[in-house]
Structure 1
Amino acid sequence: MQLPEKPLDVIIFCGGRGTRLSEKTKEVPKPLVELGQYPILWHIMKLYSHFDCNRFILTLGYKGEMITNYFLYQHPLMQNFSVTLAEPRMPVPKDDWELCFVQTGLESRTARRLLLCRDHITSGRFMVTYGDGVADIDITKLLERHQHLREKHGIIATITVSRPYSKYGIVRMEGDIVESFSEKPQMSEYINVGFMVLEPEIFDYIRPDEDVMFEDTLQDVANDGKLGFYIHPGFWHAMDTYKDYADLNTMWKENPRWKIWTD
């Protein structure tokens, strides 16, 4: 099995409004909501960078200029540095990332945002994920799975799936009596958590005159038998609501399971 020698480009969806986290997204775009001292977008990029994927294409939309400003002006200052006041210069960030900022529209849906990134992809095969979820996923194993499925079945896309925990306790009844009560058990169904690997053929499924969610595109790919999956058995958590925000920030202080990088 031959994996690509060149690290793949990573597209991160950054343009949505994040209305379910409006306590924070009224002020900043969702990918810039803080997780510890850095935005959640930084955490996602650190994960990919751990596997030598350092070229990121960011699909800008709602408050996109704040994402640009963060990486150009704020991020370099979040470290110790010295400066000569007579000739002030911005410090060089520790993270050696190449960033491509793509203006994809304020109201565009994710399939259109992806299509608008097409001409900016340099790696052929590429990866895509959402700008609001962190995981301790092994990107190398994900790529190996995609390559295996492509060779065996000719798939053009692999999504990462995981079994989330229910937000509610599950009650089972027998007659008039409660038989069992499970506090927020792990669900039996799998969900798409992002961290996708795509071939360039994916763009054959996106029509320029349509504006749909990328999940609709993936359904079309699945209908043709060309959508694979990788089961992630470890940690995954999205920042979808204020409770998610609070929970993730508590985890960052106590046990950040998604922090697989060392610096």
Structure 2
Amino acid sequence: MFEKLLTSPRRKVLDALYQLEETRRKVLFVTDEEGQLLGTLTDGDVRRWILGGGDLAGEIGQVCNTSPYTVRLGEHRDDIKQAMHRLQITAAPVIDDRGCVIDAHFWETLCGDEEVENHRYSLKNLPVIVMAGGKGTRLAPFTNVLPKPLIPVGEKTAIEIILDSFVEYGVDQFYLSVNYKSKMIKAYFDELEPDYRVDYIYEDKPLGTGGSLCALNGKVSGDIIVTNCDVIIKADYHAMVEHHRREENDITVVVSMRSYDIPYGICDIVDNGQLCAMREKPHYDFMVNTGLYILKASALKLIPEGEFYHLTDLIDEVRRQGGRVGVYPISEKAWLDTGEWRQYCETISQIKSA
């Protein structure tokens, strides 16, 4: 496991983001060929690089912290805990006399479960709203029979996988916004009898990706999470909420990093059809909306009652009123989409190979 936390300074930033999410340790140790520590790279370092306009094809050596806190063999456990708490870090590399990384201390192994929970935001009182009212026409003919949330993904339904991913972080209050085949969805959960609480927001007519949320105005407070019913996010929800609160955002959009290489030469022309430039096999990086959002509940008062309204409309309104709308980037491997056939099949393959 420890070897999976080591990386080269010449590795690409996007590859590092994959590695960080796969190890779930939030930190990598950047070493040279001899194993000597050159720096540390956290998920926060990568996000700051991306949000600052940094190139995903850039090298880790440009991004990492080159003066990290380190531990020598024989240092007292309590001293290490105090230093990590003061610096607000979750991992510290152990180095030998040559400066080579030989081990690491992690906050969760130094502390008991109670201390670990106190070190991060609790999501127990943070409600999650799942927008589950759409017809799912891109998944026909499955959705001619079943509502999209009940489409099987491996051994469970899509919506069970989504809710279970939040339950792992302590969430126990869910609201399902339903319309199409809503009776089937309610009957499914009535029979499932989950340990968490499920309440329903019934749409008499389709209200878009955000219109039904006005029903919760005044009923929820603090922060809330809103997600589509066809996206499975494999990332750290604690880190997302911490980022949202630290940045004091009214809305945080979780985005996936997507890279595309065009295998052809791209021609740029001017109005008269004359070639002005040619770019050979260009590379593009995009931040794509995953359909998962963290909102201040106070933003719900901006949603008009009973009107077709998208969450993108709410984002525009918050920005128009001077509010803060930020993004939280994750890698494309951390975003599984079941909303159309090709993506659904890819998700099934990834779950089977996990």
TM-score over 0.5 (shorter chain): yes
Superposition pairs of residues 86-165 of structure 1, within 5 angstroms: 93=193, 95-118=194-217, 120-121=219-220, 123-150=221-248, 155-164=249-258
In 2: Cα distance, 1:96 partner to 1:209 partner: 32
SS at structure 1 position matched to 2:210: helix
- 2:352 alignment partner AA: K
CA apart distance, 1:120: 4.7
Q: Is the 8 A contact 1:125 1:197 kept in 2?
A: yes
SS at structure 2 position matched to 1:188: strand
- Structure 2 counterpart of 1:62, from 170, 173, 180: 180
- Structure 1 counterpart of 2:312, from 183, 190, 215: 215
**Cα deviations by residue, 1:203-261 (Å, 9 ceiling, x for unpaired):** 23212253221211112223324212211235102112112222212222112xxxxxx
Q: Does 1:201 align with 2:298?
A: yes
Q: Of the two, which has the highest radius of gyration?
A: 2
**Cα deviations by residue, 1:65-120 (Å, 9 ceiling, x for unpaired):** 111111112x3xxxxxxxxxxxxxxxxx5x42111022123422222211123355
- 2:256 alignment partner AA: S
In 2: Cα distance, 1:24 partner to 1:200 partner: 34
CA apart distance, 1:135: 1.7
Number of positions where the alignment pairs a residue of Structure 1 with one of Structure 2:
224
- Which residue is equivalent to 2:262? 170
Q: Is the 8 A contact 1:13 1:110 kept in 2?
A: yes
Q: Does 1:250 align with 2:344?
A: no
Q: Is the 8 A contact 2:123 2:170 kept in 1?
A: no
Percent of aligned pairs with the same amino acid = 24
Structure 2-normalised TM-score?
0.58
Q: Is the 8 A contact 2:178 2:201 kept in 1?
A: yes
More strand by share: 2
Q: Is the 8 A contact 2:124 2:172 kept in 1?
A: no
In 2: Cα distance, 1:230 partner to 1:148 partner: 12
CA apart distance, 1:179: 4.8
In 1: Cα distance, 2:134 partner to 2:349 partner: 25
**Cα deviations by residue, 1:152-199 (Å, 9 ceiling, x for unpaired):** xxx311111112366xx7222178x99549xxx8x5121221332111
Q: Does 1:238 align with 2:337?
A: yes
Q: Is the 8 A contact 2:177 2:212 kept in 1?
A: yes
CA apart distance, 1:139: 0.4
CA apart distance, 1:37: 2.0
Task: Return closer, same or farther for 1:247/1:206 CA change in 2, 3 Å cut-off.
Answer: same
Higher relative CO (Cα under 8 Å, sequence separation at least 6) belongs to 1
- 2:204 alignment partner AA: G
Q: RMSD of the alignment, in Å?
A: 2.6
- 2:342 alignment partner AA: K
Residue ranges of structure 2 left out of the alignment (5+ in a row): 1-118, 268-277
Residue ranges of structure 1 left out of the alignment (5+ in a row): 76-92, 256-263
Structure 1-normalised TM-score?
0.76
